[in-house]
Copies of this chain bind each other. A is one copy, B any other.
């Protein structure tokens, strides 16, 4: 098995942190090539995204959370998708919000305004997707909306989905750190987010 990733991209970092928290070692290959992914990688995996886990039978599992679900099934402990039914629901809810509002929001700004992503408004290899500059404002709005929700949630919870560290923390952390590329940081009035960010950034997994 091999995990294809890219050191500088936010989505593979979600999986690397997950694996570090689990104590799972997987052979990895960085398929970045300057500002894009290597052409050979695109050819072998037409979805054109990282991360991707290739199993020994050739099965390709893409999407960060799909890869984590594979390993959660292989090694359930420590649980990073929740334990009780309620917690499992809340972890999924917050992970999806962190991805859709925060990580996607930042990516919308970057991909639709940075000249390096000209004609690649979505991550595709074999087609032209023009940039939509109006998405810059919308992407910033989404990111800010998530920080509002998260600050409220963290006013009475240690971690994003409640009492335990989970994949919801991982995606939230990766999204907030990714926002550096569009010069968005945690606003000073979001004291709960800042407290949580200091805490999760100090975990050894954060540097994975």
Interfacial residues of chain A within 128-146, with CB under 8 A of chain B in the complex? 129-130, 132, 134-135, 137-138, 141-142, 145
The 10 listed contacts between A and B (C-beta, < 8 Å) are: A61-B86, A65-B96, A69-B88, A70-B85, A70-B88, A74-B85, A122-B141, A124-B145, A130-B134, A134-B134
B63–A85 touching, CB < 8 Å: no
Residue of B nearest to A62 (CB): B93
Majority secondary structure, A binding face = helix
This protein's copies in its complex: 2
How far is A86 from B74 in the complex, measured between Cα atoms in Å?
A: 9
A66 within 8 A of B: yes
In the bound complex, residues from chain B placing their C-beta under 8 Å from that of A121 are 138
Within 8 Å by CB of A59, from B86, B88, B137, lies B86
Interfacial residues of chain A within 71-107, with CB under 8 A of chain B in the complex? 71-74, 84-86, 88-93, 96-97
A50 within 8 A of B: no
- Given A122-B138, A129-B138, A134-B132, A69-B55 contact (CB < 8 Å): no
A53 within 8 A of B: yes
A110 within 8 A of B: no
How far is A1 from B25 in the complex, measured between Cα atoms in Å?
A: 41
A63–B93 touching, CB < 8 Å: yes
In the bound complex, residues from chain B placing their C-beta under 8 Å from that of A72 are 88
A17 within 8 A of B: no
